[in-house]
Every structure is written in C-alpha cells, then in structure tokens.
Structure 1
Amino acid sequence: MFMDHLACFTPADLAGSTPPDLSAFRWRLLAQGDSWFSNSRDKLNAHANLLQELVFKGQTAAVNCAGTGNALSHMVDLESSADFVRLLSGPDAPAWDGVLLSVGGNDLIAAARTPAHDAAGNPIPLELRLMRRQTEWGPPSAGVARYFSEPGWATYAEYLRANVKHLLSLRDQGPSAGKPVFMHCYAVPMPRPAGAESNDDLGAASGPWLYPAMKAYGVPAADWAAVSRLMVFHLAQLLKGMAADSEGFPGLFVFDSTTVPLALAAPGSTGISGDWHNEIHLNHSGCFKIARAWSEHIEMVLEGKHLVPVPTGRKGRVK
C-alpha cells in the first residue's frame, strides 16, 4: 500500500503570502515538542526529525511549532510558544484532527544533569535531582537503582503530569476540544561523549548531556547504559500511566517507543553510531524505525480503530 510522508509546515508558512491549503489533506495535525521535533537545519540534513519520517495511508499535514535550536528545551514553555497556543486555543484557531507532542525527554535529561551542589557549594536536596551522591548510594543489591533518586523522580513526575494536564486543558479551550493528543516515549541513549555539531542554527555546539552527569556523580562506566535505561523506562511507565487515566488525561494516546528495536551506540563513541546521531538524538535510521511504528498507532486512533478499555478479565476490542 502506498504511504504518504507527513507534509510538515511551520507557523511562518501559514502566515506567508501563499499559505498551504490544509483542507486538501485528510488529516490535519498540530505539533509541538522538544529537540526530537526540532526544525534545526543540521537535524533536517541528518534526517533526525521524527516528524519527517511519519507516513500515512491518507494525505496528512502537520504544522510544527517546535523550535530550531539544538540546545535542550524544557517542557513546552508556553510563554515562548505563542504560535502553538494561538493555533491550538486562540480565537481564530483551526480545528485540528489531533495534536502531536514530543515532551518530557529533554526535561528528564536536564533533571539527570542537576548537580549535587549549587554554585555556592550548598547541597541540592535529593527531591530536586535524579542522581544520588556516592554517600547516598543504596546497597549493591539494589542494582543500578542505588544511584537513582526516587524523591527526585516523584518531583519530576508531578511536574510532567501538571504540564500535560495544562496542555490538554488548552486543547479543550479551542475548536479541537476532545481531539486526540499523541505522545511518544523515548529510546534509551548510551551515555557517551557525543555532542551536537557546531554548525547548528545557534552557531554553537551543545552536549554531551548524560555523559558528564554520570562522570560527575561517580557512576561506574559499566553501569551507565543501565542507569540510562532505568530513567527512560521510568518515563515510559509514567507516560503510559497518564494515557491509561482517561478521566485525568482525556484523549491522550502514548506510543511506547521503548519497544522498537534500535541499534545502540557504541560506548565511548563520539559521533554517529548505531541508530544515533549524537548522544541523545536519533539519526535517519533511528527516526525511521520509531516513526514508522508510531505512524500506524496514530492512524489507527484517527480512524477510530484503537483499542478501548474494557472491564478486567476481558480482552480489549477494536472500535
């Protein structure tokens, strides 16, 4: 069956002298997110924008409000996302068939990078960071969880839930009220000295991200990959838990990208390796693998063929 790539536009395209005719598309989506949706030139050249690899049976368009920089962006900052807010809930907002969100991953990385001490040398409380100092490590029997701050995770989880609820409330203030919001989980990065290129739109290199945090906290190199996996799987469980809470997070659909087999980057590598462009961003092959699976998930929901909850003890049915 022939599949069409997602047609990606920007808010600037809509405001241009010859705006695209969105009515010509079967599905019309609004997108916002972190660096996995970034429009930066070097990411597009590397085919490392997840949206670019989405494909659908019917012609589908998305207006992508994500930024152009390579630097870490935190959970959608609505003060600097005026286009997204306007297109989602403004007085002249179009009616979208769905919203694509790529959020939470960069916040997770930033939380992992929170140092043990502030600039003045004062200890940062455990509930404000994801990593434990060596004097706080649990017993070896706890495995790599001994390095992980559960109090810090609770803070992060509360923060993410509140932000996603706010985004859903914005959706319901506009003409797209009740339409599906699609989020993806993340893939497990290998902590390694592989930052972004210096020729990005900001003119400055960024990263690596997890690698210096693992070194700063003294985590043995043999455990780096497992610590990364622990954090990403925590995030996946959190996102899937929100999607399962149809009352608290109505119309939220989460695709578990941790189930997509990817080629890991080689430990210690400094550039493109496996399915990774750098330490935390996928390359063309990585985006291709996740996007093709996510596309199917999105289209099933748009067509009303997703699984719906049923009482315990019975299998899910297809609408």
Structure 2
Amino acid sequence: MTSVVITGSRYLVRPEQADQFGPFEKTFLAEGDSWMDASAAVQGSLPYYLAEEFNRRGKTHLIINISTSGQTLQRISATMSGDYLWWLKQLRYDAVLLSAGGNDFIDAARDEAAGEGLLRDMQGQPLPADGYECVRQEALRSLVDGFLNPNFAAMYDALRASSRNAGTPLLLNCYDTPVARNAPAIPGLVGPWLWTAYRSNHIDPSLWPSLTQGLFRDIKAAVEGWAIGRTGVELMPTTGVLTPASPDATGSSGDWKNEIHPNARGWRKQASIWADRLA
C-alpha cells in the first residue's frame, strides 16, 4: 500500500491505477492553481510531494487532483458546474486542499496595459520611498472585494451545500514570498511573471523587493480574510518557510525552481507542513 496522487480525469478513466494501492486511510481533493497542479511536471507541485511525504511517514492516502496551472479563483468559481462541484458529489473527502488567489493578483499586475491593472505606471514618476507605493489601491480593493471574496464565497457555499462534504475541512494555501527575477518556467513560453509586470509598468528594480513583499502581504491578507466567520476553513502556515532565491539567478535558486514556484527542496518543506495538519 502507498499514497497516490491522480488527476480527476485519469481516475475517472482508469481508477484501478490508484485503487490498486488501497485501501486508503484518507482521501483528499486538491483544487486550484499551479501550486496544486499534478500536471505541472516542469516545476513540480504540492500534491506530488505531499504524497511523497505521506509515503515517508508510512501513510496510505489518495489525492484526487482537479487543479490546473494558471487557474484563477475567478475561473474556478465560474466553472463550478464542472469538475469542482461534480467531484464534491462523488466522494466523501477528509479535506479539500485549495491554492487560489495568487494567479489573480499576478494576472492583475501583468496582463493589463501599463498603469491600468494592479500597478501604477511609474514612467516619468519620482522614485517613491517604498515599492509598495506602486500598487494602485483602488485596483487592489476591486480585485479583493469585487472578485476574490465573492468567488471564494461561492466555492465555500458549494462545499457546505454538498450532502457528502458539508462538514469537510477546507485548507487554504498561503503561498510564500518569491523574489522578482528573470526566471521563467519555460523560457519564451511560461513566465517570468512579476519580472514582466514590473518592467511593463516601468518600476525601478530598487523597488522590486519591497513591492513584492507588499503584494504577497496583500495576498496573504486576502486568503486570511476567507477564513473569518467560516467554519472548517483553515490557513496553512506556509509563509516565511522557503529560502529566497538570488535576484540575479535565472534558474533554480534557494528553495525556488523558477520565479514563483518552489524547487524539490522547497516543495518538501511545504509538504511537511501540510502533512502535519492532515495527519
């Protein structure tokens, strides 16, 4: 017997590929972005290393993974009639593992025209004392209050309305703070993310560390807000865990594989924290 992580689509077609290793002590549903995505072979993902950690501890658990690289909370909520809602009806889970919100912040910083997204266009502007002054506060409020909070509420309400999982704990990834640097996941195709956003908005590199710290404080605050007044929602203490990368490194550095994803050493640190809670 061993712990297994398998995508939802694969489990539907070939359940024996996982079930042969059972019976399982616990079953978990993983949803969210690339930090959860089992198909993220280039940089790894939490469920893969979580299963590895379970095996190291002699546990036999099943993780059904329906997450997708690049997924935003807005898209997860908009497609709840798809995988998420369907899987809530199929099995009783010991916990739902969710990583969401980070991509929404990054997309808001990177994908809009200069000065029209989460960041101010600093071209021709005086250098502020703190990089966080480059954040457009009205855009931040709109992102959190207008998109993230209602979309999380929809996910939470769907979980609590599920006959099988009305009392299932929902565990939230709080990420960790990366270093903005030119370290893509796939050069020329995927990433870098913050590095691109900062350059597009003409933000001086001297401001990047304090800006990144501020943005990830905002991400953590948003995620922490989702737990307020909601039963069974827990925050995973994953911030301040990873060794930062060198700002000049274009590949794996510290505990980071690329700009915003951990490497194997980093994933193992994160997985140990999750495994302690899921025990």
- TM-score, L = length of structure 2: 0.86
Aligned partner letter, 2:270? I
User: Given that residues 263 and 275 in structure 1 are in contact (C-alpha distance below 8 angstroms), is that contact kept between their aligned partners in structure 2?
Assistant: yes
Q: Is the 8 A contact 2:5 2:48 kept in 1?
A: yes
Structure 1 match to 2:158:
170
2:60 is aligned to 59
Aligned to 1:36: 35
In structure 1, the residue matched to 2:258 is 278
Find the aligned partners of 2:141 and 2:27 in 1 and give their Cα distance. Answer: 35
Counterpart in 2 of 1:253? 234
Partner secondary structure for residue 280 of structure 1: coil
State the Cα deviation string for residues 233-253 of structure 1 (Å, max 9, x = none). 11112212321x13xx33211
Residue 216 of structure 1: how far off its partner (Å): 1.9
Size of the aligned set, in residue pairs, is: 268
Q: CA deviation at 1:103?
A: 0.8
Name the SS for the 2:41 alignment partner.
helix
Name the counterpart of 1:108. 105
Query: Aligned partners of 2:154 and 2:206: how far apart in 1?
Result: 39
| 1:80 positional shift | 8.0
Q: Which residue identity lines up with residue 48 of structure 2 in the other structure? A: Q
Deviations 1:106-154 (A, max 9, x none): 111111114345xxxxx73xxxx2211227979845x222111211111
Match runs of 1:89-238 below 5 Å: 89=89, 93-117=90-114, 124=116, 129-134=117-122, 140-141=128-129, 143-158=130-145, 159-174=147-162, 175-197=164-186, 205-238=189-222
CA contact (8 A) 1:53 1:287 kept: yes
Letter in 2 for 1:100: L
What is residue 8 of structure 1 aligned with on the other side?
5
2:237/2:273 contact within 8 Å kept? no
Counterparts of 1:136 and 1:27, CA distance in 2: 56
Q: State the Cα RMSD in Å.
A: 2.6
- Asked if the contact 2:32/2:100 (under 8 Å) is kept, the reply is yes
Task: Report the TM-score when normalising by structure 1.
Answer: 0.76
Residue type at the aligned position of 2:144: A
Q: Distance in 2 between matches of 1:155 and 1:136?
A: 26
Aligned to 1:50: 46
Q: Which amino acid is the alignment partner of residue 51 of structure 1?
A: P
Give, in angstroms, the shift of residue 65 of structure 1.
0.6
Asked if 1 retains the 8 angstrom alpha-carbon contact of 2:181 and 2:249, the reply is: yes
Instruction: Indicate whether 1:26 and 2:25 are aligned.
Output: yes
Closer, same or farther: CA 296–215 of 1 in aligned 2, 3 Å: same
Q: Which blocks of at least 5 consecutive residues in structure 2 are unaligned?
A: none
- Answer whether contact 2:77 2:151 (CA < 8 A) is retained: no
Where does the alignment leave 5 or more consecutive residues of structure 1 unmatched?
Answer: 118-122, 199-203, 300-319
List per-residue Cα deviations over 1:150-183 (Å, max 9, x = no partner): 1111112121111111111111222111210011
Match in the other structure for 1:302: none
Q: Conserved in 2, the CA contact under 8 Å of 1:78 and 1:85? A: no
For residues 67-91 of structure 1, what are the alpha-carbon distances to aligned partners after superposition, in whole Å with 9 as ceiling and x for unaligned? 3x5xx322225438723321114xx
Percentage of identical aligned residues: 28
Distance 1:167 1:138, change over 3 A: farther
Matching residue of 1:295: 275
What one-letter code is carried by the residue in structure 1 that aligns with 2:84? F
Contact 2:38 2:48 in 1 (8 A): no
